[in-house]
Structure formats: C-alpha cells, structure tokens
Structure 1
Amino acid sequence: MMSIPANLYPGLNDIVDVLEQFPLETSRYLTLLHEIDAKCVHSTPGLNDRIDKFAAVEGFEVDKRGLLGQMNALFEELMPSLEEKMHVSSIMLEALQRLTTRLELAYEVAIRNQEIPTSLRLGVDNHPAMHLHHELMDKIDAKSNGGATGAAGARTSQALRSESRREAMVANKRQIAVPSDLVDDPAFSDFETAKRGTSTGSNGPTDKKRKRRANVNTVAFPDDPIGPNSDSKQRTNEYGELLYCYCNQVAYGEMVGCDGANCELEWFHLPCIHLDHIPKGKWYCDDCKKRKN
C-alpha cells in the first residue's frame, strides 16, 4: 500500500488553521467584552444623565455639588468594569498578534516550498512590468548561483521564457495605430514637432546607419522615415508618445538602436534584449537577423 505524506502542504495547512482560529479568538474576547458591558447597563445611562444635568445647571449651586457627588459614586462603580475591559482588550490584541505572526510564517513556508503556483499567486505574467521584473529576478538568480555552468543554464532558461513572452507581446501589440482624433489634433502635431526638434537640435542630424546607442536622456530618435511604410508603422500610446522595443513601451533608461535598414521596432531597452551594457559595433534585432538570413 502506497504511503501518503502526513503533511503534504505544511504552509497552506497552517494558513487554513490560522484563518479558522481568527474568528474563534475574536468572538471569544468580544463575548467577554459584551458581558462586561452588561454589568454597566444601568450605571452608564445614569452617569450620562447626570453629566447632562450638570452641564445644564448654571452657576455653582448646591444642586450642582450634589450632582458631582453622584457622578463620583457612579465612576467608582464603573471603574472595575472599565479596568476589566482594558485587560481583556490587551489580551485580545496579543492573541491576534500571535495569530498574525503565525500566518506570516506559514505564508513564507508556503512560498519557500512552492505550494502556491506562481500563476495563481502573481497572476498573468505577460504584462510589460512583470516582464521586466522577471528579467531582473533571473539576472539576480544567475549572479547568486555562481559558476559558469549555473550562469549559462540560467541565461538559457531566461532566454526561452523571454522569447515566448516577447513573441506573444509582439503579436498582440505590434500593430497599434495612432487614433485619428490625435492625428488631427493641432496640439498633438505641435507636440511631435517640438519633440523631434529638440532631439535633432541636441544631437545633430539623424542617420539610420550611425551608431544608434545612447541613454534615453541624450538619445536622438530617428527624424526621417525609415522605410516606405514607416509613417503607418509608427506606434504611439494614448498620449501620442512613440513606442519602441519588444515590450511596446516608451523610451527609458539605456537603449540600443537596430542597424537594420527597415527595422519596425527601431529602439530596444537593454533588459529586454538580455544585455548589461551597450554593444560595440553594429547590432541587429531578432527580426532583422531573420530577414538578413
């Protein structure tokens, strides 16, 4: 007979136990607090009534002194119950803090043992932000593992995951056209003209065959059409900003330009192409490499 592990998911089992104890502990202490309040069901309304009368009386007459004496007697009667409520509340807080700490430890155990699937814990990972996150995490893992074999294996798995994500994103987002209302908007035209003028003025005339590598703060994006259909293939977001790279995002950080004659994506973020630094000489993206071959 096949043996079944006694505790297959220790982290998740402990999380379930803690979640079951939360309402039990809370209801137990809240019941005690309600029982303490029941002891004061007559004293508290009487005290509130005398406080209202004391505030309504003008001057410091004999009646007001009598009200003060009655209020003092009611306070002395209520004091043990108030102290008991404070004690129960402090015990309840400590119990809930212990359960919270236990829940956090159980969650760490579940994450460490990979008891929760990544797709369920983080959701769909084809978002550009998650794409960059995975690139950075894979790079950190490769450095922490050490060794040539380990680093090469990490880079290989990273390349496979990135390739699949990249193909999906390019297929879904490559053909993004500028909305017609933005094209006809004078403000949009002025924005594009000013942006191109600033880029060209600070970096000189643009040439497709020059070395297209720079930081986003100093980069001069191409001003002239790259191909016969380049105007229709330029991609922008809803704010009219040009989009680049496999991740279909605006320019940021260090970027490298493809030296292909009719490259559609033009500029690429270094993390998206698995580079730590700007390459020397000519560089071609995967699409242009396929066309050349």
Structure 2
Amino acid sequence: MAKAVYLEHYLDSIEGLPYELQRNFTLMSELDNRTEEQKAEIDKLAEDYVANVKNLASEQRVQHLQKIENAYTKCKEYSDDKVQLAMQIYELVDKHIRRLDADLARFENDLKDKLDSSSQESSDEKRLKKDKSVRDKKVSRTQKDSDPDSPGRKKVKNRIFPPSVLSPNNTDLAMHPSDVLDMPVDPNEPTYCLCSQVSYGEMIGCDNLDCPIEWFHFACVGLATKPKGKW
C-alpha cells in the first residue's frame, strides 16, 4: 500500500478528533465553573452557620448543615465528571496514537518488502547478465577457434614439422606429443590438451562450452584420423 494511501486513511480517521476534544474540554470548563459556584455557596453557608449558630434551633442547625453537605456532594459529582471526561480524552488520543503506530509499522514492513524484492531482482538480473556474458564469451571463443581463418586454427593447421616427425615411415612417432617437445615454440603461445602443450599437428575441439581445455591433440585422445561426419 502506498504511503499516500496510509496518510489518507489516517487523516480520515482523525478528521473528527478536534471536534470531540473541543466538546470534552468545553464540558470540563463548564464543570469547573459550576464547581467554583458551588464552593462559593459552601463558603456562604458556612459563614451564615457560624454567625447564627447560637440563635438557631436544633432543627434549623440540622437543615443548615444538610445544605452544606449537599453542596459538597455536588462539588464531588462535578469533580468525578471531570475525571471521566479527562479519561475519555486520554483514551481517544491514545487510540489514534496506537492507530498511527500500527500504520507506520505496516508501512515500514511494506517498504522493506519492496526494497528486498527490488534488491533480489537486481541481484538476479546482474547474475543473469554475468552468466550471459560468460556464455557469449565462450561461444565467441569457440566460433573463433572453429574458423579456419582464425589465428588459433592457423597455428594448428599450418604448423610445419620436421620431415622426421610427419614422414609415412614414422607414423608411430606422429601419434605422441612427447616427440615434438624439442621443437622451437613461442613462449607466449597458449597451451591446450591434456598434455598442456602448444597446438601442433591435427587437433579436435570439444563441443562442451564449459570445457576449460577446448582443444586436444589427436594422439592424446587416441585418434589417428579425423572422425567421420561433418568436419
């Protein structure tokens, strides 16, 4: 849920709060006024009683004291009403505060989920791009190595060996890479095959894009002639 929606819902919920608070505070103010009036009445009754107690009959004394007691009872009722109004105000404000806390918690959770989801998607996209880049590089390298005109294949096809190595009478020697180790080799030339030697003679490529070696000498993989089929 969007932030604006949370805010809109919360503002709707507190729309009537100012009016409710104003009503309760007005009632409390009226109760204060009544209490002050009642206290003034008690003071007057008490003064009259003290001033005239000697001249009052027993029944009149009781009636006078009863008026004072009733006035005190009224003051207590007004005070109790004020306490109730104060509790209502507290509960009303507390309810909206708890509502705001709950909305904020939900908003933070939604925001965290969206950020986590976005981060995961970004991570997945980066991984996919990286995997694709690696695959593209391997495909490009394989296509380059498979091209007869590519430098790598020229090294494989056009390398010249001493007649003693490739002569028909020395077929067995041509089958083993150890027999060409004494050939002059560029130290910067890459190595291939299980024997970790440079390219020479006829070689066969691996179709597996994940193959770290890529090319193998015929002799090292037990081949004497080119495999049948498309070459």
Q: Judge same fold: TM > 0.5, yes or no.
A: no
Normalising by structure 2, report the TM-score.
Answer: 0.34
Normalising by structure 1, report the TM-score.
Answer: 0.28
Q: Normalized per residue, which structure has more helix?
A: 2
Bigger Rg, which one = 2
